[in-house]
Chains A and B, each alone.
Chain A
């Protein structure tokens, strides 16, 4: 077991420093790049906080959907192949729900401000 602070705490500290202390000092193209950098750190922080939970839930759904066992990466590949072959489609019970849940979990990390995501989140609530 690694020591603390946790990666989430460390990443957040760096993001906060760049946002509060460095952003006011920089302008032009470098300011744009800095904003991208801060966005990346925020994304990493969200992923560190959410990935274990969303991967476990995804794996559970994949096992039920495919009747197979493996890692989340392996089963994701298997699902992709079965859709490509036409063995699984939107008429397959659970597929649409699985894809929606998986995609929502990705957006929660990648782009929580994306308008389509916010609209669909409202539907979940």
Chain B
């Protein structure tokens, strides 16, 4: 039935479009959904993706930038040559599809384990750490006067926010306490420059093809802040999917990441990157706790969510490996 609404929508704004076929939901919780579909067009079928909050779910969660901002950022990125889908249409009330946007569908793989194991990506893998550096540099150079309104967060504010989230869980974890102390003691202070920060740039949120990075997805946590945050987050061990000796998404070394970033004309600060890697590891650990809480309180009483609570210990061992490494 969503096909009827999509069909009416595309015919309004895409000259020549006659309808849509093959609508299928790819993912979605109660408040946000992703659909794939094909637009029928005399020049050939156009693959498309719908990202939307269904009607009645307008409000974005506190940390999220919102779908309108996400659409604007993806379009800006596309225009600046940062791999990104082209935004085709931002939903309006007359589309009757809720709030969100429609973008061009880019073929490729997003599942991290496949990207790390499948033969198809074997040639691309050794190039990806450096490529991630250059894509992040492009992203951090996006013109600030064209950005939508975004929240702005310093390292100090982030530490306080995560501490509050953690304390609200009432889930005493000595390793998390140790990490919070470390973060306060190593808070690098305000960044000399503030840029757009993607906020969730990692293996799993990239479309990869045999030729490398084709698109950066999931801009919902975009904000203004320290650009080194993105470089630290992409190194968090949870996103290496077992390839623990290749810090950048399981693909390669920090040196390759930094080289790609600096070749694109931006400077790295390895101490800040390490700070944000510790912060990111703790952040994912606290998020695991948040999922456990939502499982307990409902409405999502799923086994998957319950099991994510048991993944917090993965971040504890990774925090210990960062802060209290053993042996050589």
Contacts and interface: CB of A to CB of B under 8 A. Distances in A.
Interface of A: 33, 36-37, 39-40, 43, 76-77, 79-81, 83-84, 86, 89-90, 96, 99-100, 102-104, 106-107, 110-111, 114-117, 119-120, 123
Nearest to B171: A80
Contacts of B304: 33, 36
| A76, A100, A110 — most chain B CB neighbours (10 Å) | A110
B178 interface: yes
SS class of chain B's interface: helix, strand, loop or mixed? helix
A2 B174 CA distance: 35
B180 A106 contact: no
B303 interface: yes
Given A90-B323, A100-B324, A123-B326, A83 B314 contact: no
B181 interface: yes
Contacts of A84: 177, 180-181
A110 B311 contact: yes
B320 interface: yes
Contacts of A79: 172, 174
Contacts, number: 86
A80 B167 CA distance: 11
B313 A83 contact: no
B318 interface: yes
Interface in B234-254: 237, 240, 242-244
B313 A103 contact: yes
Interface in B278-328: 303-304, 306-307, 310-311, 313-314, 316-318, 320-321, 323-324, 326-327
